[in-house]
A and B are shown apart, each in its own frame.
Chain A
Amino acid sequence: MNKDYNFAFLDEGSKREIRRSILKAVAIPGYQVPFGSRELPIGRGWGTGGLQLTLSLIGPDDILKVIDQGSDESVNAVSIRKFVTMCTDVATTAKTGEATLIQTRHRVPEVPLRDDQILVLQVPLPEPLRLVEPREEVTKMMHAEKDYAPVWLLLYESLIRYKKITLAADYPVMAEDRYVMNPSPIPKFDNPKLHDAECLYLFGAGREKKIYAVPPHTKVVSLAFDDVPFERESFKGKRCRLCGSTDTYLDELFDADTGARVWQCSDTAYCKEVRARCV
């Protein structure tokens, strides 16, 4: 561990302030709590929101897992894992079941999480109303007055233009019948995992300086019309080329040698575990 820095990089006062914001976020599911986003040795927009949540929550006994788009080995995940290890010396793992704290970008792991696990999501754009209203002052009032017609407008516009709702990631949800929130750019395949979950979901937007949360057993409903229900991506007839799974979120790849289209699990750790079990 690098002794030049405080444990988990941030000073204790900063960590405490961020934890207070987290408590407020947990108390009001889906509500975006403003917080004093700290400078970190990585650029804003590269997961600083999630990282600040991780750093303020991590303790010496925690076991950390970091994923980027389902993979433990991509650059963003490796750099963040290295950084946290450098200033904490906590154990890390790739196995979802072993981790106590998981920081992730754009995916929720395939293995259902337990009540002793926390999932931290990195958020680029926390405001579901931003596309229709550029002024923060106004979107705050819209949330206060539960004025969510414009979010349905976005879905309706998609129906008019493409005859179906084309939004694939960051699909807006209603938390506990009160706040509409962006679930961060997870594929809508993962949206149902937020509903009535065992674990705590925390969302951190470093550049936009917002924290929000979905506490365990929160009602989370993906927005839809009465006659156009919410649908997850369908991978009917497709299976992972490595582990053979048919019930996971699959990435579409091109085999460079044959030019063929192939599918494989986006959650690489899960894919490995399935293969290990089969051997």
Chain B
Amino acid sequence: MRLTETPVLTVRGLTVRYGDGCPACGTSLEKNRCTACGTVWALRNVSLELFPGEVLGIVGESGSGKSTLMKSLYFDLTPTEGTARLRDYRDGGASIWEASGAERRMIKNLLMGMVYQNPVLGLRMDFSAASNIAEKLIAAENRNAAKMTGRVTELLDAVEILTSRMGEAPKNFSGGMQQRVQISKALANNPALLLLDEVTTGLDLSVQAKVLDLIRKIKARYGVSILLVSHDLAVIRMLADRTIVMLDGQIVEIGLTDQILEDPQHPYTQQLVHSLI
């Protein structure tokens, strides 16, 4: 982690609101919902930086806005307010949410990789694993089939999937394998930023360990920066350099992972850490 360098990603004042809001919204929120007008504030004024080579963990209970944050960054939903600057998009000079359709595609294909909790969202289940990965390469204007297959083989090797199975559709794969295909797809064009949304949730413990191990290896080998959402503190402890704690759409605590886990300041974080068995 290099905290002195230009951040790979800078988010400022990110707000996602469902509803029009009202003057009472500031004071009458129950969790993240306004009791007066019913507006849901899924994210409120979220700001963060992600530095080169860093793994930034995001923890928080269900409904705290973790996935909303990831979806905003991957253009799956349009935020109400805020900016997100990528170091590699217009040299950080413009927010990605102002990008045109073609630019968004470029950002998603070349500058970022996303791994969803649910592989159905990230993969074409009926196409072969190889095609799923090649789709990213094609989007990067590769038109040489042999070269693409070479790169696919390399990527599948990196996530320890036998290349003899690359012609099979991911729907025939186990959950852990599907996640690994998603990871190699996300890495296809060597993006500087990887978004991992609950990648190990729903996998059994030994498979979880394997996927976590893989993420560690990838971090070491490719020097990619990772935004890692999880509600599992063990995952966070193992992988994250710094951690953000979210509650009701807001960041309540941010700091080095050890610091957050050993000396939590916010009452919610304290509760969270103490609930760890």
Contacts and interface: CB of A to CB of B under 8 A. Distances in A.
Contacts, number: 51
B143 A225 contact: yes
Contacts of A227: 144-147
Contact of B139 (A132, A141, A149): A149
A153 B134 contact: yes
A149 to B, nearest CB: 4
Interface string B153-172: 00000000000001100000
Interface in B179-227: none
Which among A146, A153, A156, A227 has the greatest number of chain B C-beta atoms within 10 A? A156
Given A145-B105, A147-B105, A160-B128, A225 B144 contact: yes
B73 interface: no
Interface string B112-126: 000000000000100
Contacts of A147: 101-102, 105
Interface in A191-237: 225-228
B130 interface: yes
B168 to A, nearest CB: 10
Interface in A138-158: 141, 144-147, 149-150, 152-153, 156-157
A174 B125 CA distance: 27
B148 interface: yes
Interface size bracket, B side: 20 to 34
Contacts of A157: 127-128, 131
B77 to A, nearest CB: 16
A149 B101 contact: no
Interface in A36-87: none
Contacts of B1: none
A73 B195 CA distance: 60
A265 to B, nearest CB: 34
Given A147-B105, A149-B135, A160 B166 contact: yes
B144 A153 contact: no
B138 interface: yes
A118 to B, nearest CB: 34
A157 B138 CA distance: 12
Given A225-B143, A227-B146, A228-B145, A153 B138 contact: yes
Interface string A150-191: 101100110111000000000000000000000000000000
A225 B145 contact: yes
A149 B128 CA distance: 16
A145 B109 CA distance: 15
A160 B143 contact: no
A62 to B, nearest CB: 43
B131 A160 contact: yes
Interface of B: 101-102, 105, 124, 127-128, 130-131, 134-135, 138-139, 143-149, 166-167
7 contacts: A147-B101, A153-B127, A153-B134, A160-B130, A160-B166, A225-B145, A226-B145
